[in-house]
Chains A and B, each alone.
Chain A
Amino acid sequence: MLYDEFRAMNSDIVLAASGKDQTAINNGFTESRQFINQCETRFTRFTETSELAELNRSSGTWFQASAEMFDVIELAYHLAVETGGLFDPAILPALKRSGYDRSMDEIRNQALRDESVKQVEKGTTPDQDFRNIQLDAATKSILLPKGMQIDLGGIAKGWITEQAARRLANVSTACAVSAGGDMFLVNLPDGEPDWEIGLENPLVPEENLAVLHVLPGAVATSSIVKRQWKHNGRFQHHLIDPRSGEPAQTEWLSTTVWAEQAAEAEVYAKVLLIAGPHNADTLFEHQTSKAYLAVDRNGWVHGSNNYHEVFHV
């Protein structure tokens, strides 16, 4: 198995691939890396020149999107509908209000120098339901309701991860792409019955809580521990509950979801964490092709009824 590691999308990226032609795999690494960097430029909300920034500026008028942007927005729309609005990319104003108005790397660096962060006046921009957007597949055009501002952070990362892995799969017999723990696995490593993945302990991030033996597909974890910062004297995290517009109050520290698509895994991990243990079964009732593990504040792990079908611990 060959590896390539670098940093992009404010995350540690790991590319892994096995196959007979090492030169082709190295070329595949280069192509995947370029693809990831190009996508980051397109989907970031932290630069004014990104396509996402243009889309947000165009709210209220039809926006001619790239094929990649349209794919992600369409996927986000279907997942927002499927989760009853619990997944909602239109929480950008709420994210900014909570202090997440720059990249997490910048916030962490700033926090080291000065604990105060820029205050965004509460309620200056109305939050809106993402399910009200309009899409025109024929022209790949998007209409955001006037005033709507969206963030595609997690779902875009999942989509990029899967697309990069599918590119790498063209030059390898088995491969994996991981972006900060959101990963897509194609085929099985030579002679192995599954992929070995460390499940990070949210209480002690340097440690693995367990080693998961996972089948090909997508794995994503959401955590309220990783992206934390202090705003107005209170610790905040990046998972906004669309129902309150505030960082989610949840009994779980992290949730890990297996799904066939990386964007789905990412969205369901996030939604599961927001929904919490009391709504988990309802949320996954009709999602028989997905499975989850969740870690609570005592370090106990909870699993969906079908978790053993894809996670062997």
Chain B
Amino acid sequence: MKIVKKSLRVWITIASVFSFLGGWIILSHSNKPAPLQIAQPVISAPSSNSSLQQFSRNTQSSGFPFSSQLQSRSFSPRLRTGGS
């Protein structure tokens, strides 16, 4: 009887170890989960000087928008010009 009990314990131990290792191997070879998608605000870079000059040369028909000049809006100098 003792031999049966001892054999059973050894068998359970070996089965547990192999089951754990088997699961580990299976998981390590499975596909990785996709990263969580987080919406990022799109911030367009300020226009370069060269592009501004390009627009400025044709004053009759075009101009350049300042809506992307985010840095310019971020602080306000003490001196402002805007008509009176």
Contacts and interface: CB of A to CB of B under 8 A. Distances in A.
17 contacts: A179-B84, A181-B82, A195-B79, A197-B79, A197-B81, A199-B80, A199-B82, A207-B73, A208-B72, A208-B76, A225-B83, A254-B82, A294-B63, A296-B63, A299-B65, A301-B63, A307-B56
Q: Which of A181, A202, A211 has the most CB of B within 10 A?
A: A211
| CB-based closest 5 A-B pairs | A200-B82, A223-B83, A180-B84, A300-B63, A303-B56
Main secondary structure of the interface of B (DSSP, over half): loop
Contacts of B67: 299
Nearest to A296: B63
Given A180-B84, A305-B57, A307-B56, A211 B77 contact: yes
Nearest to B82: A200
Sorting the interface of chain B by its residue count into under 10, 10 to 19, 20 to 34 or 35 or more gives: 20 to 34
B53 A223 contact: no
A269 B81 CA distance: 12
A199 B84 contact: no
B55 to A, nearest CB: 8
Q: Which of A208, A219, A281, A304 has the most CB of B within 10 A?
A: A208
A289 B64 CA distance: 23
Interface in A269-313: 269, 277-278, 280-281, 294, 296, 299-305, 307-308, 312-313
Interface stretch (A9-17, A43-51, A59-67, A69-77): A9-17
Main secondary structure of the interface of A (DSSP, over half): strand
Given A208-B73, A305-B56, A313-B72, A220 B65 contact: no
A16 B78 contact: yes
B84 A226 contact: yes
A24 interface: no
Nearest to B84: A180
A296 B62 CA distance: 10
Sorting the interface of chain A by its residue count into under 10, 10 to 19, 20 to 34 or 35 or more gives: 35 or more
Given A183-B81, A302-B64, 8 more contacts: A14-B78, A180-B83, A181-B84, A223-B82, A256-B81, A294-B59, A301-B66, A308-B52
Contacts of B56: 302-305, 307-308
A313 B81 contact: no
